Amino acid sequence: MYDAIIIGAGPSGLMCAVTLGSYKKKVLLIEKNPDIGKKLRLTGGGRCNITNFKDVNTFINSLPIKSGRFLYHALTLFGPKDIWDYFEKRGIPLKIEDNDRIFPKSNRALDFIDVFNRELQNNNVQLLTNTEVTDIDIKDQFTTVYTTNGTFTASNIVIATGGVSYPHTGSNGFGHKIAKKFNHTVTELYPTESPLISHDELIVSRTLQGLSFKDITISLLDENNKPLKTQTGDLIITHFGLSGPASLRLSQFVYHYIKDHNKAKITIDFLPTLNIETLKQTFLQLKNTDKTKTLKTSLKSFLPERLSEHLISKLNIGDNLKIGDVAKQTLLDLAILVKNFPIKIHGVNPLDVAFVTGGGVSLKELNPKTMESKLIPNLYFIGEVCDLHGYTGGYNLTIALSTGYTCGYYLGQK
């Protein structure tokens, strides 16, 4: 008989297990993969963006969900600063990069895996890998867990199985099945942080394929062509559509818009640091100062050459026309196109290839101070299996570690 069985050795399950183990509790951690932290190894391109170094309120306000306040207790108990201290005290020097992102100085995600492996041993957590849970039964406040490697019982059961993204890492929706079995609501599951798919002529022709942009602004438009949601960040034009942080951050909003309207349109502002009037005046000034240069040459200091060529073609301007000979209205139209470049969007990459799962076990049915079910005593849900997610940039790992620690801390005190 265990004090707790934790299903899933991802970041939330690992943090819960080592925290609970530190209270001398008898803990069993079950993982279907041969090794722990499979998804953790992949994050940040193998560098692992372990957290985002914002204060609790700013962190919550930076999330794309309305239910962020649910996390207030967990983040206060074990937030970004605590995550920083936790790993530095265990021999992993950290560094801060742009947008408050935290990485190991070594740029090795495996450093965090090493810490968790040591902590599992130090806190006497029993780890069972290559083991799949097939069913769970809860009776008389005791849980029986059926697995491919035997049957186990515990006083408490913690579901840390993740969402349904990256199924090859083991996230196959099992946690949601368990939640439904015990009459929990699972909100709609949808892809977030996922590339945008476009059949726009620009994408199909591959005219701009491979171009990448730093710090552009991308906007989802409503039916009246007004910005509905805007994101700023890096962007990559691919053979299938748009990728990069800006489009990933916009993807969940595009998904819901397409679900309601069957299609979507976005616009790209290639020069967000210049307002439209300033850009118009700049182009008109170039008409006088650079009048003997071709328009394409004059645009080199503003835009990539291939993009300039495309814009010039789109406005039916001659390739070698000197900027001094370009009509004033044409230059004004060019400025508008640079600031509001339209692309039709036809979909979002599906859940199995999305970086993050949106939706999950309803937060209304969970206690934010313990992560315990309000419906079934001694049943807990932590991490991405819950209806909690953030943007890329360390938010999701913070949510996983914070909710995992909160659950482990509570069970340790229990």
User: Please, what's the largest Cα pairwise distance for the chain?
Assistant: 87
Q: What pLDDT, on a 0 to 100 scale, did the predictor assign at position 297?
A: 93
Q: What pLDDT, on a 0 to 100 scale, did the predictor assign at position 172?
A: 79
Spatial CA neighbour of 253 closest among 344, 348, 360: 348
Q: What pLDDT, on a 0 to 100 scale, did the predictor assign at position 169?
A: 67
The answer to whether 378 and 298 have CB atoms below 8 angstroms apart is no
Q: What is the pLDDT of residues 26-45, one digit of tens each?
A: 999 999 999 999 989 888 78
Please list the ranges in the chain whose pLDDT falls under 50: none
Question: What pTM value is reported for the model?
Answer: 0.92
d(CA 345, CA 255): 10
d(CA 24, CA 202): 61
Across 162-198, b (16+ Cβ under 10 Å) vs e yields bbbbbeebbbbbbbbebbeeeebebbebbbbbbbbbb
d(CA 275, CA 183): 52
Q: What is the pLDDT of residues 276-300, one digit of tens each?
A: 999 999 999 999 998 899 999 999 9
Q: What pLDDT, on a 0 to 100 scale, did the predictor assign at position 39?
A: 84
Q: Dihedrals φ, ψ of 258, to 5°?
A: -65, -35
d(CA 155, CA 138): 10
170-179 contact pairs (CB < 8 A, 24+): 170/8, 170/10, 170/31, 170/32, 170/33, 170/38, 170/39, 171/39, 171/357, 171/384, 174/7, 174/133, 175/7, 175/8, 175/361, 175/381, 175/385, 176/360, 176/361, 176/385, 178/136, 179/361, 179/381, 179/385
Spatial CA neighbour of 136 closest among 111, 118, 159: 159
Domains along the chain with CATH numbers: 2-191+353-413 (3.50.50.60), 195-349 (1.10.8.100)
Q: What pLDDT, on a 0 to 100 scale, did the predictor assign at position 55?
A: 97
Residue 225 contacts by C-beta under 8 Å, 6 or more apart in sequence? Answer: 265
